[in-house]
Copies of this chain bind each other. A is one copy, B any other.
Amino acid sequence: MKAWIFAVGSELLTPFRVDTNSLAITERLNAIGCDVRFKAVVGDDVEDLRVLFERGIGEVDLIVCTGGLGPTEDDITRDALGRALNLELDLDERILGSIRARFERRGLVMQEINRRQAMVPRGAMVLENSRGTAPGLWLEREGTGILLLPGPPREMQPMLERIIDERLKARAGGRGLFRRVLRITGRPESDVDAVAQPVYAKWTSAPVPIATTILAKMGQIELHLTADAAGEEEAAAALESAVGELVDVLGPSVYSVDGRGLEEVIGDLLRERQLTIAVAESCSGGLLSSRITDVPGSSAYFDRGLVCYSNLAKIEWLGVAEALIAAHGAVSEPVAAAMADGVRERSTTSVGIGITGIAGPGGGTPEKPVGTVAIAVVTPEHRSVRTFLFLGGRDMVKFQATQAAMNMLRLLLADGPPVHRD
């Protein structure tokens, strides 16, 4: 089954807004084996949208159109579809009544302009909007299912689910695309691909074909595995075995095979081992603390963090010796280690992390250019101290430093199999 997605709204043709609805729609359609082949964005121009509808109807199995269903003159989706199909729009009294009731419940009088939202192309099925005023619409013509959805994601989603259940699942014939994501850090993309490609290349012609995409993101690489299978069980088995093969060749650089972020992975490791953690950051400026505490329930293991930008803060609050800073410089492995030890001892946690570096754009020297970061992780049994050179702007250096610190902790703590599988 093949689908096209249209997004309607002049704001989507400015430099400020991008159509993200189509991503969520694509994910749901893919899961029932429906492929998205084309996406288009048009402004609030009824003729532009009419032309698009005319091209798609009879040509593709499904058209999903979001936006342009509101009450104002700018909301042109109903009219455009009416014109494309030569259909009259009728006032639907039931919709009008429920829009009016919605206003009355909030003590408001419905403005007449809202009548537009109750106009329905003749023969269309109305999809009630439990979270807003604009209803959705469903119509079939010339073998094409046409789904009109409101723009706001929370209003759109229940209608999409309903049509998937009531109409699309049966058409799609049970096959679907199912996904798993492997997350990798501490290894360059070219290296990951060189190792992984010979493994995943052969899956495209397997009985349950699996397509693999490599996505390089800041501080990590993702391998997206998509199985084309007759059902969830078949897909899960094929994906589980594929994931296992990749973990075997990629080793401990794979930190997650179940969608968890690195902060969740280390959170789970700390919780399982009943450890607590305190961190001392310089160049990462609090981002490590913030990422660790992004995880709900992190107060169970995160005790405190110190952002010590000034040398005085390092000396006073962490007990880093002034002579150590003088001898090695604030950005050095000995100072990172003293920060990790200091924060751990003073907070009496089990784990301490110290990060010191040069985030830029200023402050670099020939010996220690911008992007130089020393990181120390100390636990009751182990210590790990390393120096990195990260590329990119200030925000990228900060992020990569936190990524590297959490990964060092993960590798120190992982004494069982390299990756926690679900």
Binds B, one of A103-111, A186-194, A301-309, A408-416: A301-309
In the complex, residue of chain B having the shortest beta-carbon distance to the beta carbon of A300: B309
B contact residues around A92 at 8 Å (CB): none
Inter-chain CA distance A361–B297, complex, in Å, is 8
Inter-chain CA distance A296–B292, complex, in Å, is 24
B contact residues around A23 at 8 Å (CB): 15-16, 18
B contact residues around A38 at 8 Å (CB): 13, 40-43, 48
Q: Is A19 in the interface zone, CB < 8 Å from B? A: yes
B contact residues around A48 at 8 Å (CB): 37-38
- Could you tell me which residues of chain A, from 255 to 298, have a CB within 8 Å of some CB in chain B? 281, 284-290, 292-294, 296-298
Binds B, one of A24-32, A122-130, A227-235, A240-248: A24-32
Q: Is A14 in the interface zone, CB < 8 Å from B? A: yes
- In the complex, the answer to whether B286 meets A16 with C-beta atoms within 8 Å is no
- In the complex, the answer to whether A285 meets B296 with C-beta atoms within 8 Å is no
Interface of A is mostly: mixed
Q: Is A224 in the interface zone, CB < 8 Å from B? A: yes
Q: Is A347 in the interface zone, CB < 8 Å from B? A: yes
Q: Is A90 in the interface zone, CB < 8 Å from B? A: no
Q: Is A161 in the interface zone, CB < 8 Å from B? A: no
Q: Is A368 in the interface zone, CB < 8 Å from B? A: no
B contact residues around A16 at 8 Å (CB): 23, 213, 215, 224
- In the complex, the answer to whether A289 meets B294 with C-beta atoms within 8 Å is no
Inter-chain CA distance A270–B347, complex, in Å, is 31
Which of B42, B213, B285, B308 interacts with A294 by CB under 8 Å?
Answer: B285
Could you pull out 8 A-B pairs where Cβ atoms are within 8 angstroms? A13-B35, A15-B26, A15-B27, A290-B398, A294-B398, A296-B360, A302-B309, A313-B347
Pick the 4 closest A-B CB pairs, nearest first. A286-B289, A285-B293, A286-B286, A305-B307
